[in-house]
Amino acid sequence: MLPHLDDAWRLARWLARVDHDAEDVLQEAMLRAYRYYDVGGRDNVRAWLLAIVRNTFYTLRTEGPVASLVDEFDEDVHATNDANSPEHQMLRDADAQQVRAAIERLPVAFREVLVLRELQGFSYKEIVEITGLKTGTVMSRLARARERLARDLGVGAEGGSHHAMQ
Amino acid sequence: MQCSDSRLLIHAYLDNELGAGDSVRLNRHIADCADCARELERQSLLQDALRRARPTLATSDALPGALRARILASLPLSESTSAAMAPLALRPRPSLHRRQPLTFAIAASALLLLGGGFGVAWERHASTVSATEGNAMIAEVVSDHVRSLQPQHLTDVLTSDQHTVKPWFDGKLDFSPQVRDLDAAGFVLVGGRLDVLHGRRVAAIVYRRRLHPINLFQFVAAGPNTTPTSNDAGDGYTTTSWTQDGIAYWAVSTLDRGEMETFAGAFRTSPSLSVPR
C-alpha cells in the first residue's frame, strides 16, 4: 500500500484542508491500514486505502456527520446563461489557484466525490467502493459539486466566496 | 427525457460512464433543449479548467519527504510485530511529532558510542565471500535481518531521501555505500544503518515493498561483477546477492525470489547517486 501513500495524502489534504489535520488523518489511516492489511483478499488496494483515509477523516473530525451537510445544499443552480456570457469566459480563464479555492469551498460531501473523480481519477464504481455510497448518490453529488464549482468559478473569486457561508 | 435527468446524465456522459442507450437519449434531448445544451457546454468548460489545473494541484499536493519518513517510521515493521504495535492505532492524536526526533537522537547517540568502539577493533576484510563461507553468510544475513526488525533497530538514519542517507555514512565506513532511488520500481527507501556482518562493518540500506522490509547489506569486495543469485534461506526468507563495481550486495527479506530479483535488477540498473566524499 506504500506506493499509494501519495494518493492517501492528497485525499487527506483535500478533506481536512489544513495540513496539520491532514497529517493526523494520514498517520492514523496508515496505522489502521496496516492493522487490517492481512484481513481478506482485496483487488484494489488503492481504493481500499483511500476508503480508510476517508473513514479516518470522518472519525477524527469533531464536526457533525456528513448527512447533515448534504441536504442543505439542494438549491437551484441551473441559472440559464448563454455560451458567450462572462461566466463562460471566466471558466475558460480559471487558473489552478482559483480552481483550488473553489474546490475547497465545496461542502465536504461534494468535495470528496469531486476530488476522487477529477483529481484522483477514480471510476464511479471505485468511488462507490471507497465511500460506501450508492451509485445514484455518487452521481448526484458529483453533479451538484460540479454545478457549484462552475457557478463559483463563473462568478469569480470575490463573488464565489459567499457560497462558503451558506 | 426530462431536464432534471439530463442534468445528471451530462456528468456521466463527460466521464465516459454513460451507457450507449442513455447516451443516445441524452444527445436527442440536448438537440432539442437549448438550456441543457448550454449546461453541457458549461460543464465541459469546467472539465477543461480542472484538466488544466490538475498538474499544478498534483505538484503542490505532493507528500512532504519529512512526513513520509515519519509515517514509515510509525508503521509496524512486519506482520509479526504488527500485533504488538496495534495499541498505537488507538491513540487519538499520535504524539509522533515529538517522539520521532527523540528516538532519533537516542539512536544517533548510541551509534556514536558504538561507532567509537568498533573503530578501534575494525579490521578491513577486503576479500569476497568464498563458496564455503556462502551458507554461513546466508544464515548470518537472515539473522541480522531478523534482529534489525526489533523495534527501533531497523534504521539509524530514517528518511526516504537518498541524498540524506548517503552522506550519513560518510566517515563511518571505508567505502561509500550505494543508495538508489527505486520508487519507480515499487521499492521505497526507508533509511539506513551501520551493521556488522561476518566480522565486517557494513552498510545496511533499508527499503520496503508493501509490508516487507528489505535489508540491503553492502561491503567492499575485491572481485569481478556477478549476477544476482537467490537462496531460500528457510522460514520464508530469501537472500539475493551479487557483486557490482567492487561492492558485495546481500539483500534479504520475506519477499519471494521473483520480487527479490526484481529488486536486485532495479537496484543494479538504477543510476548511483554521486555525492563528493
Render pLDDT for B226-237 as a digit per residue (tens, 0 to 9). 999 999 888 888
Q: How many domains does chain B have?
A: 2
Contact flag A143-B7 (C-beta cutoff 8 Å)? yes
> What is the spatial distance between Cα B4 and Cα B11, in angstroms, rounded to a whole number?
12
Last residue of a domain, one of B60, B83, B108: B60
- The domain in which residue A145 lies consists of 67-165
pLDDT at position A149: 93
pLDDT at position B169: 80
- The answer to whether position B277 is within a domain reads no
> What is the spatial distance between Cα A59 and Cα A70, in angstroms, rounded to a whole number?
18
State the sign of the Cα–Cα–Cα–Cα dihedral B163, B165, B170, B174. Answer: negative
Map residue A124 onto helix, strand or coil: helix
- Helix (H) or strand (E) segment spanning residue B120: helix B96-121
- The answer to whether position B10 is within a domain reads yes
Domain co-membership, B88 together with B174:
yes
Domain co-membership, B24 together with B158:
no
Last residue of a domain, one of B39, B60, B81: B60
> What is the spatial distance between Cα A64 and Cα B142, in angstroms, rounded to a whole number?
51
Domain co-membership, B218 together with B103:
yes
- The answer to whether position B107 is within a domain reads yes
User: Searching chain B, which residue's CA lies closest to the CA of residue A6?
Assistant: B63
> What is the spatial distance between Cα B216 and Cα B155, in angstroms, rounded to a whole number?
12
Other beta carbons within 10 Å of B130 = 8
- The answer to whether position B71 is within a domain reads yes
- The answer to whether position B276 is within a domain reads no
* Structure-block grid coordinates of residue B175: 567505502
Last residue of a domain, one of A42, A60, A78: A60
Give the closest residue to A147 by CA, choosing from A89, A72, A82, A73: A73
Give the closest residue to B262 by CA, choosing from B185, B190, B174, B193: B185
Domain co-membership, B240 together with B127:
yes
The minimum CA-CA distance between A141 and chain B, rounded to whole Å, is 9
Domain co-membership, B131 together with B219:
yes
Domain co-membership, A36 together with A101:
no
- The domain in which residue B210 lies consists of 65-269
> What is the spatial distance between Cα A148 and Cα B88, in angstroms, rounded to a whole number?
40
Tens digits of residue pLDDT in B115-171:
333 333 333 333 344 445 677 888 888 888 877 776 556 666 666 667 777 777 877
> What is the spatial distance between Cα A152 and Cα A104, in angstroms, rounded to a whole number?
11
> What is the spatial distance between Cα B67 and Cα B65, in angstroms, rounded to a whole number?
5
Last residue of a domain, one of B60, B91, B108: B60
User: Searching chain B, which residue's CA lies closest to the CA of residue A25?
Assistant: B93
**B81 Rama sector, left if φ>0, alpha if ψ -120 to 50, beta otherwise:** alpha
Q: Cα separations (Å) of B99 from A24, A28, A30?
A: 14, 15, 17
Give the closest residue to B76 by CA, choosing from B18, B154, B163: B154
Tens digits of residue pLDDT in B171-193:
778 888 898 988 888 888 888 88
pLDDT at position B264: 96
Q: How many domains does chain A have?
A: 2
Lowest mean pLDDT among A56-65, B25-34, B154-163: B154-163
pLDDT-above-70 percentage for chain B: 73
Domain co-membership, A76 together with A39:
no
* Structure-block grid coordinates of residue A152: 463559483
**B150 Rama sector, left if φ>0, alpha if ψ -120 to 50, beta otherwise:** beta
- Give A-chain residues touching B76 at CB under 8 angstroms: 34
Last residue of a domain, one of A60, A88, A103: A60
Domain co-membership, B122 together with B20:
no
Other beta carbons within 10 Å of B238 = 25
> Is residue A147 scored above 90 in pLDDT?
yes
pLDDT-above-70 percentage for chain A: 74
User: Searching chain A, which residue's CA lies closest to the CA of residue B75?
Assistant: A31
State the sign of the Cα–Cα–Cα–Cα dihedral A121, A136, A166, A153. Answer: positive
Cβ-Cβ contacts under 8 Å for B150 (sequence gap 6 or more): none
Domain co-membership, B141 together with B13:
no
Domain co-membership, B32 together with B108:
no
Q: pTM of the full predicted structure?
A: 0.53
Lowest mean pLDDT among A13-27, A109-123, B10-24, B139-153: B139-153
Domain co-membership, A48 together with A105:
no
Instruction: Give me the CATH number covering residue A95.
Output: 1.10.10.10
Cα angle value A31/A33/B88 (rounded, 5°): 20
* Structure-block grid coordinates of residue A2: 506504500
Domain co-membership, A135 together with A158:
yes
- The answer to whether position B114 is within a domain reads yes
Domain co-membership, A93 together with A32:
no
Give the closest residue to B218 by CA, choosing from B172, B182, B257: B172
Of A9, A139, A150, the CB nearest to B8: A139
When computed from its CA atoms, the radius of gyration of chain A, rounded to whole angstroms, is 17
Instruction: Give me the CATH number covering residue B84.
Output: 3.30.200.100
> What is the spatial distance between Cα B191 and Cα B104, in angstroms, rounded to a whole number?
12
> Is residue A160 scored above 70 in pLDDT?
no
- In what order do the strands lie in the sheet containing B247-253? B157-158, B188-197, B200-209, B212-220, B247-253, B237-244, B226-234
Domain co-membership, A10 together with A87:
no
pLDDT at position B168: 77
Domain co-membership, B55 together with B179:
no
- Give A-chain residues touching B52 at CB under 8 angstroms: 94-96
Domain co-membership, B40 together with B102:
no
Domain co-membership, B243 together with B162:
yes
- The answer to whether position B169 is within a domain reads yes
Q: Does A26 touch chain B (CB under 8 A)?
A: yes
The minimum CA-CA distance between A30 and chain B, rounded to whole Å, is 7
Give the closest residue to B271 by CA, choosing from B174, B178, B143: B178
> What is the spatial distance between Cα B131 and Cα B122, in angstroms, rounded to a whole number?
24
pLDDT at position B124: 33
**How far from chain centre, in Å, is Cα B10?**
41
Domain co-membership, B99 together with B200:
yes
